[in-house]
Each structure stands twice: as C-alpha cells, then as structure tokens.
C-alpha cells in the first residue's frame, strides 16, 4: 500500500506503509504513475475541500482503468441552539462577516486567507488557527495560533472567552478532532459561518469510514 501526501504541511503525521510526498503533475501525471506502479485500486482519502486533487484522481483513474473510491467522513449537522450560516465559498464567507461580528475565529486553515484580506474587512480582527504559519496576503488585523487538533471542548471554550470571539468561520470538514469549537460556539450563542463542501466527482462511489473502504477493497478482490 502506498499513501500519497500533498506536502503542504511541514511535519505531517505519516501513515503506515510506503509514503510519497508531492504532486503528480496533474491528472495525466497521476494516470502515468498509476500505470507505472501497476495500481489495482485508488482511494481518494484527501481533505473534503481538496477539490482539484479529487477531480484529478477521477480523471486519472478513468484513464488508467483503475477502480476509484472516495473516502469522505460525514459532514457536521447543525443541532438545537446552533446559529449556522451556510455559504458556498470563502469569498462568500468574507461577505457575510461584517453583519455577524467583529472578532473572528478563522479556522479554515492557512490556504485561502486572501479572501479575508480585502479593505472591506479592515475593521475586523481575526484569530487564525493553522498547523503551519500562513503567508500573505492575509487579514490586516490578525493573530495566529499554530496548533494541530484534536481540540477539547474546555480548550475551545477558553479560547473563545480569552479572545472575545463573536463569530466563527469554518469549513465543513467533519470529524471529531475539530468539532469542539462548534459546541463551544453553540453554548456561547456565537454565530458560525460554515463553508459547504464541494461535490465529489460524478459517478465516484463514496465510503464514510475506513471500514467501508476496506470492505470495498475486499469486494474488488473477491
């Protein structure tokens, strides 16, 4: 088994087995790699928002005639007391922010901060949390927290209080590691701007858990 990492995190947590780091050179490069290494099955287990690599994987799998499965953990679901504001992009999230608050907890990662760097948001203050330090362009008034999940409810409650956060921005990445911020925001009555996921490429089957992915692999081998 070979795991491929994009290389965007300086010190990633490595999975077991063989690991390669870096891109393929687009869909054609990935198809060539699949053929060269005689790959029998491809599982797209990238972040739910890694749209480009997912569509490259779909194209490469079709070209190389390799079965493809998308592994996507379920998205978050709003509960009673949540004040969620769904949007389709980071740019749309930036547009709705001024009407919701002035002190923003931005948990969308270090990529895409340019969406929040415009003059229309100059009056807002941002707390940006990411694994690695962001590069400009980014918000004019900003503090950076270099942290990696999982996070705890108590830690998130304290963070919101300490920094006087009045609005949270997040991507619907799903999973338990970063979900405590949603609980803390609900308890504090803080609105949350939730960027919705891009679609999985058409006709690609989806598994919600590693166990489902393993069952799919067993089905291929009979």
- pLDDT below 50 — which residues of the chain? none
Q: Is residue 79 assigned to a domain?
A: no
Q: Are residues 11 and 49 in the same domain?
A: yes
175 phi-psi bin (left φ>0, alpha ψ -120 to 50, beta other): left
For the record, the structure tokens of 150 come out as 């999982």
- Is 58 found in the same domain as 19? yes
| Residue 141 neighbours by CB distance under 10 Å | 13
Instruction: Note whether 22 and 90 are same-domain residues.
Output: no
Among 167, 184, 164, 190, smallest CA distance to 104 is for 167
Closest CA to 124 of 195, 196, 174, 193: 193
Domain count across the chain: 2
Report how far residue 222's alpha carbon sits from residue 219's, in angstroms, rounded to the nearest whole number.
5
Six token digits for residue 203: 């006709």
pLDDT for the residue 42: 96
Same domain, yes or no: 93 and 188:
yes
Calculate the alpha carbon distances from 97 to 73, 94, 117, 119 in Å. Answer: 27, 5, 12, 13
Residues 186 and 160 in one domain: yes
Residues 152 and 207 in one domain: no
Q: Establish if 78 belongs to a structural domain.
A: no
- Does any domain span residue 181? yes
Same domain, 65 and 91: no
Q: What is the CATH number of the domain that holds 109?
A: 3.40.50
pLDDT of residue 101: 97
Range of the domain at 6: 2-73+199-221
How far, in whole angstroms, is CA 107 from its chain's centroid? 10
pLDDT score at 60:
94
The structure's pTM equals 0.85
Rounded Cα distance, 105 and 52, in Å: 26
Structural domain contains residue 183: yes
pLDDT at 65: 96
In a domain, 161, yes or no: yes
């Amino acid at each position: 088994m070979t795991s491929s990492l994009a290389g965007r995190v300086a010190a990633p947590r490595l999975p077991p087995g063989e690991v390669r780091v870096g891109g393929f050179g687009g869909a054609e490069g990935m198809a060539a790699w699949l053929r060269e290494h005689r790959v029998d099955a491809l599982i797209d287990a990238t972040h739910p928002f890694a749209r480009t690599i997912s569509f490259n994987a779909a194209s490469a799998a079709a070209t190389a005639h390799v079965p493809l499965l998308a592994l996507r953990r379920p998205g978050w679901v709003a509960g009673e007391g949540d004040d969620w504001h769904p949007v389709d992009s980071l740019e749309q999230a930036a547009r709705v922010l001024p009407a919701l608050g002035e002190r923003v907890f931005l948990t969308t990662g270090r990529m895409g901060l340019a969406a929040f760097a415009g003059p229309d948001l100059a009056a807002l203050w941002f707390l940006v949390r990411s694994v690695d330090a962001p590069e400009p362009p980014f918000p004019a008034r900003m503090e950076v927290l270099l942290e990696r999940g999982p996070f705890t409810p108590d830690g998130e409650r304290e963070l919101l209080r300490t920094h006087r956060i009045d609005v949270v921005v997040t991507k619907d990445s799903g999973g338990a590691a970063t979900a405590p911020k949603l609980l803390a925001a609900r308890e504090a009555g803080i609105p949350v701007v939730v960027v919705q996921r891009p679609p999985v490429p058409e006709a690609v089957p989806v598994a919600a858990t590693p166990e489902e992915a393993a069952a799919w692999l067993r089905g291929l081998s009979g």
